[in-house]
Structure 1
Amino acid sequence: MKKLLMLGAILVLGATAFAKEAAPELENQSEAKVTVKARLVAENLVISDLEGNPIILDFGKVSKTRALGTSETKTGYMVRYVGDESKLTGGDTQKLAMELKGTTGDYVKTAVPVTLAEVSQEKDHAADTFEVTVGLNTYEGTMPAKVDGHDYAEYTGMVFGTLDHAAANPLKEGKGGPTTLAALDSGDYIGFANLKVTINGGKDFQ
């Protein structure tokens, strides 16, 4: 019996020693999940950022203690026409018309106000908010002809965002009226604008 107990102890000690010996190698290894996704759309005109991803206008970190001046950001966007060019009017000149819609209102050919709302707020309480302005570098363009070797034509433009610290019209939850950015909760804020593109006065795309 003692021999069996001794043998068991030796095996346990050996396994422990092996585990400790192998640990340093595992410390230099890691695993991460890669999420792969795509959205299939039945559209001839596809709008995205310059890499084919959703358009994100990111101000990054903004100091809410500023009462003057502006914070600005910009990003590129891309419009690809993948349909049959023979079905379009206008021949080699395919005119594009761009419009924006902010948090409220209709589509317009000018910059629009967008309300950013606090992402993480207390349950059952309204989020703090403030406004920024989103605009485009131009609201008209021309879609070039398809390049040899590609089944699409491509147009690129710019989206701009401006935060006027003196006129952000921030609303503090529960206060019922405009306040200052400094009074708002620190954290992440998000809002949405819509970009619509129309080719040759025909069907529009968002």
Structure 2
Amino acid sequence: MTATFGLMGHGSVRTGATSGGTPTSAAYTDFNKAQGSITRSGSALAQAFGMRVVGVRRNRGDASPPGVELRAPEELMRVAAEADVLALTCPLTPETEGLVSAEVIAAMRPDAFLINVARGRVVDEPALVEALRAGRITCAGLDCFVEEPLDPASPLWAMPNVIVTPHSAGETQHYERNVVRLLLRNLDAFERGASLVNAVV
């Protein structure tokens, strides 16, 4: 089994539970230069629920939160096959476009959850729809899609095992304040030649 991040708690409420009970493991894909705040927060939440957390990240030499096992991108298929929850928190880059392919989805366990708060084009959306329809994975929590806003004719709207949100999973009452603080902090760091916070590349 494997481990991951935030929305898995919401997904387990909506769907009841996996066939094996409460999820015990999760995996996240980050791919940022350094681990981002979404991934850090998600990892902490997953661990608070007693989940084993495995991260797929390109720069495994960077510091990782305690208790998080890091794996290379080449191991994504194996990680997907182990995970109760596969959460995507990576940016959209040429490296991550189509990262969760039909093959990765097919490798997932039938009682697994997929959470995408990254970008829609990270996932093979038609393959995901087919896997959800056929019951090859339990459910999905999707905050982003290949085309946004999501087409009213999309089958995802009517699926009982899918939670759809309008690319707003990160929205809180403090979002704008936090964005301005981060911008100012990074402008200062850039002027001093220091490392930026949440650098993507």
Greater Cα radius of gyration, structure 1 or 2: 1
Do they fold alike, i.e. is TM over 0.5?
Answer: no
Q: Which has the higher contact order (CA 8 A, sep 6+)?
A: 1
Q: In proportion to residue count, which structure has more helix?
A: 2
How does the TM-score come out when normalised to structure 2?
0.19
The structure that is strand-richer by fraction is 1
Q: What is the TM-score normalised by the length of structure 1?
A: 0.19
